[in-house]
Structure 1
Amino acid sequence: MKVKIVLFSFIIALAVVLISAEQDTDNLFLTYKVDVKKQYLRLFWKDEKGKRFGSIENFKLWAAEKNLKTDFVMNAGMYKVDHSPQGLYIEKQKVLFPLDTSKAEGNFYLYPNGVFFITAKKTAVICTTERFRNNKEIEFATQSGPMLVIDGQIHSAFKEGSKNLNIRNGVGVLPNGNVVFVLSKKEVNFYDFANYFKSLGCKNALYLDGFVSRAYLPSQNWIQTDGDFGALFAITKSK
């Protein structure tokens, strides 16, 4: 009887620890998983009149005029001073900005950096910039950096316990091929941010941006509509 009581107590204690860990994760990260086969995940930069969306609010207003319901919006890869995408940007199979393989300072150039893209066959891929090849079947793509997880390993430049804390957002590809977007609700270092993607099973994950990052996800009561970005990720559907 004592053995059963001890075992039951251990199971209860383990359940409490797991629930507590999940709650801590929920408090630290906003996580949204996308089935790219069923949900139309797209990149947006300018509207049909050539006007940059900029903020999430502007995008929502544009979508409403098109009679579209906005399910999700998040800032995409990094952008330049003029708010044009930094590095490769492909929209509707058209290359609007070329791949950036130059060397410079800043997170974008903390090699290896990488590219997130969606093919015309609705397959999502993240690869290092070095491995990227445009086979003309890529529907949407955004370049950013650094890579967070590369072939299942956390970027070697990240240090556990680092004091380099910031709000961060990123994107990963899950083992089943779905895409996962993550926004830190609190400031985190690169290592912990990358480790979260790894814990989800992502073999490759890409950093998108820092303190400017915002997301609109009404299904999780996360409503941020400000910002002044380059490109945006968004999922919409007909009302």
Structure 2
Amino acid sequence: MEDRSPLGLYIENTKQLRQLNTARGSGNFYLQPNGVFYITTDNKAVICKTSDFKKSSKTKYATQSGPLLIVDGAINSVFTKGSSNTNVRNGVGILPNGEVVFAMSKDNVNFYDFAKYFQDMGCKYALYLDGFVSRTYCPEKNWTQTDGDFGVIIGVTK
């Protein structure tokens, strides 16, 4: 949201800080189906449609976003191949072996091609996380695309 708070569901360390958002509206978040990426207390990663999400005490981390890029192995039907609607995009998918993959384009890409990237890796579900405001800080890959308004939403640590 404009105050930088999450627009939809947000759970951190099993504590729900923001409610699931099932409203209809305009913008990428509301493109259907949108979805939830979450990690359970036993470290299993899941992506599901917002309408299928059921909070439990085993939900350790969760974020809601939209649209889903891949739905049950297929590219979201609202995307158009060859679309001129391009932006820097980032998202999350779950590989067939259960590992999580985060991807961010360095150049502008349309939703269809971005979704195809996840589909080609074998993801049954993938979720769009953000667009043109996205930034990456990954110095070990010499990728420090940041500015004065950078804040971490998802961090990966070992």
Fold agreement, TM-score > 0.5: yes
CA offsets per residue over residues 46-66 of structure 1, 9 Å max, x none?
A: xxxxxxxxxxxxxxxxxxxxx
- 2:53 paired residue among 116, 132, 140: 132
Tell me how far apart the structure 2 counterparts of residues 227 and 150 of structure 1 sit (CA, whole Å).
35
Work out whether 1:159 is the aligned partner of 2:80: yes
Structure 1 pair 206–194 and aligned structure 2 pair: CA distance change class (3 A) = same
Aligned length: 158
Aligned to 1:219: 140
RMSD: 1.4
- TM-score w.r.t. the length of structure 1 is 0.64
- The alignment status of 1:175 with 2:92, answered yes or no, reads no
1:110-129 matches, within 5 Å, as: 110-129=31-50
Q: Which residue of 2 aligns with 1:8?
A: none
Identity score, percent: 60
How do 1:31-70 and structure 2 match up within 5 A? Answer: none
Q: Which secondary structure state, in structure 2, belongs to the residue aligned with residue 208 of structure 1?
A: strand
Higher helix fraction: Structure 1 or Structure 2? 1
Partner SS state of residue 95, structure 1? strand
> What stretches of structure 1 of length at least 5 have no aligned partner?
1-79
SS of the equivalent of 1:96 reads: strand
Give 1:188's aligned residue: 109
Contact 2:34 2:49 in 1 (8 A): yes
Q: How far apart, CA to CA, are the structure 2 residues paired with 1:226 and 1:92?
A: 28
2:35 counterpart letter in structure 1: G
Instruction: Quote the offset at 1:135 in angstroms.
Output: 1.5
Q: Which of 97, 103, 107 pairs up with 2:24?
A: 103
2:118 to 169, 180, 197: 197
Indicate the structure (1 or 2) with the bigger Cα radius of gyration: 1
Distance 1:169 1:189, change over 3 A: same
CA distance in 1, matches of 2:74, 2:111: 13
**1:63-109 per-position Cα deviation (integer Å, ceiling 9, x unaligned):** xxxxxxxxxxxxxxxxx011001100000000000000011111100
Q: 1:230 to 1:81 in 2, by over 3 A?
A: farther
Task: Name the structure 2 match of 1:149.
Answer: 70
Distance in 2, matches of 1:129 and 1:227, equals 32
Is contact 1:83-1:229 (8 Å) kept? no
Where has structure 1 moved over 2 Å in runs of 4 or more?
Answer: 224-231
What is the CA-CA distance between 1:218 and the residue it aligns to?
A: 2.3
Structure 2: gaps of 5 or more residues = none
Contact 1:214 1:227 in 2 (8 A): no
Give how far 1:231 is off: 5.9
**Residue type matched to 2:16 in 1?**
V
